[in-house]
Structure 1
Amino acid sequence: MQVALEARGLTKEFRGFVAVNDVSLKVTEGSIHALIGPNGAGKTTFFNLLTKFLQPTSGTITYFGRDITRMSPAGIARLGMVRSFQISAVFADLSVLENVRIALQRARGESYDFWRSEKVLARYDGEARGHVDDVGLSDFVHHRAGELSYGRKRALEIATTLALDPRMLLLDEPMAGMAQEDVTRISALIRRIARNRTILMVEHNLSVVADLSDRITVLARGEILAEGDYATVSKAPAVIDAYIGAGHD
């Protein structure tokens, strides 16, 4: 299988503190790859390096063989690598349909056409409804986004992300703060959208990681502790020690 995203020797230093230290990672096309680790492991910093919200101190990043190390977040988004954030980002005062339609409007070019008439923008409604249906929000299409439950806001955020037609999705703690009912719903959604996409996700819910992931990379103190499927990494002594401190009893 082709490598979708690869980091080589990625390092990030902040005024003498090394948050990510010589990390190399390969994400295979068509897989769900999870990045896990205890608090302070460097997961968010590493994620921000991959998505170019931070520039690495050293190392390289390639996306389907193309060097993106010095590209901007907008530049890599245009290549089809799109991320979500820990905090759900929706337009609270707009409807579910309007939120997705805004993402689709980027097809007109650089302008988001906020000043256009409703009649002109209606051309996007059919496709927007399709994405709304895909994430299970058909019954909420005309609801204000701000009125949705937290789990449904996350589903809406995924719908707007899908409207950008990404080749690869990077999901930053998609289950954070969710009730079990929402976790089950979003897990099923991620599995469904992964059928024709590559996904890299940072996630704390280990049952979700075990259920969804083809491969898992474990970070601690900015370095890789283990990598493999869940059965492999869950039994690694270094991983057990990092999570529960077994080596310090």
Structure 2
Amino acid sequence: MSEFILETRGLTKEFKGFVAVSNVDLKVRTGHIHALIGPNGAGKTTVFNLLTKFLPPTAGSILFDGKDVTREAPAVTARRGMVRSFQISATFPNLTVLENVRIGLQRRLGTEFHFWRSAKSLDVLNDEAMALLEAVDLTRFADTVTAEMPYGRKRALEIATTLALEPRMLLLDEPTQGMGGEDIARVVELIRKVSANRTILMVEHNLSVVANLCDRITVLTRGSVLAEGSYAEVSKNPKVLEAYVGSDDIGDAHH
């Protein structure tokens, strides 16, 4: 196991002459919760799309666990253990919460399950699915139709279906977006819990969440890395404060 599970070197993405991501060197330490923050338009989502192969880079390379995965197919990289929560979490709204997690487990086990679907094989999955629901505090929603779940709990289900794939590194894109305080607190606890034996890279706009949760923070602005360090370090950095003026105020993370 390498010290850095994920590394980018000179990662660059241009769209018709516009440089969305410029020469980004990112090092995510194994076992850390690492946040990518920055004002709107800083290139955070584009970096995620490059990491998960939604987009090919114009230049630069991506290393996962020491292997160059830059030109690899998205599914191959996902099988190595780098999984983005929303990649798979088109959860099926008309299925129950338990059924959704079971589908996540079937994906991991491959299609052989679809053929010899004896009741016994599905029971094995049920036990595992219930254990995952317990991990994300959704046991009592097991038989709820997903569409009828409270908004904040849907995010927990998305994380549960992602955990079914046994990722080594989890990419979370704005996990608290659109949530009220109570849901945010619950999701923060959930992320802390599931980070126990894996690495997490998250894009997050809510700075109090970042302050509470993250070991290391990379600040992007206009597609480039502006600063990196602990929350205490980056929140005092004059360049970071300046970049945030007129968007979020990083000095007052409790909005």
Query: What's the TM-score bracket when you normalise by the shorter of the two chains?
Result: over 0.9
Q: CA deviation digits over 1:149-199, x for unaligned, max 9? A: 111000000000111001110000000011111100010010011111000
User: Secondary structure at 1:18's aligned position in 2?
Assistant: strand
2:152 alignment partner in structure 1:
151
1:77 alignment partner in structure 2:
78
- Distance in 2 (CA, whole Å) between partners of 1:114 and 1:177 is 40
Matches within 5 A, 1:1-249: 2-85=3-86, 89-110=90-111, 113=114, 116=117, 120-245=121-246
Deviates more, 1:235-244 or 1:152-161: 235-244
Structure 1 vs Structure 2: percent identity of aligned residues? Answer: 64
Q: 1:88: Cα distance to partner?
A: 6.2
Q: CA deviation digits over 1:206-235, x for unaligned, max 9? A: 000000000000001000111000111111
- Distance in 2 (CA, whole Å) between partners of 1:117 and 1:86 is 29
1:211 is aligned with what amino acid?
N
- Distance in 1 (CA, whole Å) between partners of 2:90 and 2:146 is 10
Q: CA deviation digits over 1:6-36, x for unaligned, max 9? A: 0000000011110000010000000000000
Moved over 6 A (4+): none
Label 1:71 to 1:112 Cα distance change in 2 as closer, same or farther (>3 A).
farther
1:231 is aligned with what amino acid?
A
2:216 is aligned with what amino acid?
R
How many residues of Structure 1 are paired with residues of Structure 2 in the alignment? Answer: 246
User: Secondary structure at 1:196's aligned position in 2?
Assistant: coil
Q: Which runs of 5+ in 2 are unaligned?
A: 248-255
Q: Indicate the RMSD between aligned Cα atoms, in angstroms.
A: 1.9
Label 1:12 to 1:199 Cα distance change in 2 as closer, same or farther (>3 A).
same
Q: 1:84: Cα distance to partner?
A: 1.6
- Distance in 1 (CA, whole Å) between partners of 2:224 and 2:50 is 14
Q: CA deviation digits over 1:58-116, x for unaligned, max 9? A: 00000010110011221111001111239963111001100000011124424672994
